[in-house]
Amino acid sequence: MPTAMAPAETNRRIAPARRAPLQIAPAAASNASGPRKIGRMSTEAAARSVPSARSTLARFDADICSCSHMRVIALLTDFGTRDGYVGAMKGVLAVRAPHACIVDITHDVPAGDVQHAAWVLKTVWSHFPAGTVFLAVVDPGVGSARPAIALGAEDRFAVGPDNGIFTFVADSARAVSLAIPIDASPVFHGRDVFAPVAASLAGGVSLEDIGAPAESPERLPLPRPERRGEVIEAHVIHIDRFGNCVSDVPAAMLGGRPVRVEAGAVRTTRLVRTYAEAREGELVALINSAGHLELATRSGAASERFGIRRGARLLVRLG
């Protein structure tokens, strides 16, 4: 809470707690018999202020460096931003982990779409610093018997419902089950269960002190790509906001070879490097930024233009 300050005494200046950048007022009339004035500050005074300004910048740089050592809490939800749900979780985090750096991954996951959230989490996981706590809440089963968990994997942590949202990051994860406080809202575990646990992890509490050991996190029942000779049977695992169709085939599975991809009656014969290489209205294949084979088109949504939906079966022919 800001401290009240008594009115300044006559002719007495109260220095601010943090110096503002040097501000120079418009020039006044020059005085030929003395130092040139710059507003109310002489050139000599301005020169004397330079070390002070440099000191202020040095302190500012130090503040930036100290921020880089804060624990990150990264939020991923389907809450949107029209209501107060995200704000309520951030309020809990601000109280319990005031020094944490809070990052919004997205709050635009389609409502209740756990698979969409799981894919998004996979694509950002390794790009956050070690020690990051991912607070992932897409929870259509909130208040039911579905478990609540926290996990650690690859020097990062995650907190959320055990409903498959951690499918792509759960390999070799250590997981613990979370107790549901008796006063927690049965319809808002994001605020009353997961946010407090995320704050504790960001504050340095160990995973083992958060909850009791749990079995491996729940995984979504997704098919896997299978190679049979020169053909890979694959699937569309995600449709992004541009209508690009992401497959479950990692680039390594292609071995650097050219491919032809069939999605029902639709097919492409070109593997390109960039979206711009596609001709107008052409369906092309490329390796996306997540390292997976993807179907796309130029200036349009491939999913809509070619009728390709998530879960669609693909045949990827090598060579």
Domain 226-318 sits in CATH 3.20.20.60 = no
Cα 175 to Cα 124, 126, 274: the distances in Å are 20, 18, 39
Q: How far is CA 240 from CA 3, 243, 272, 301, in A?
A: 49, 5, 19, 9
- Please say if the pLDDT value at position 210 is more than 90: yes
β-bridge partners, 314 = 234
Contact (Cβ atoms closer than 8 angstroms) between residue 261 and residue 293: yes
* Listed range (20-24, 143-147, 296-300) with the worst mean pLDDT: 20-24
Q: What does the pLDDT look like over 231-249, one tens digit per residue?
A: 999 999 999 999 999 999 9
pTM (two decimals): 0.78
Mean pLDDT of 29-34: 42
pLDDT band at residue 17 under the 50/70/90 scheme: very low
Task: Evaluate if residue 56 carries a pLDDT over 70.
Answer: no
Instruction: For residue range 253-308, list pLDDT tens digits in order.
Output: 999 999 999 999 999 979 999 999 999 999 999 999 999 999 999 989 999 999 99
Tell me the per-residue pLDDT of 125-140, one tens digit each, with 9 for 90 and over. 999 999 999 999 999 9
pLDDT for res 275: 95
CATH of domain 72-213: 3.40.50.10790
User: Does 34 have pLDDT greater than 50?
Assistant: no
Tell me the per-residue pLDDT of 155-177, one tens digit each, with 9 for 90 and over. 999 999 999 999 999 988 999 99
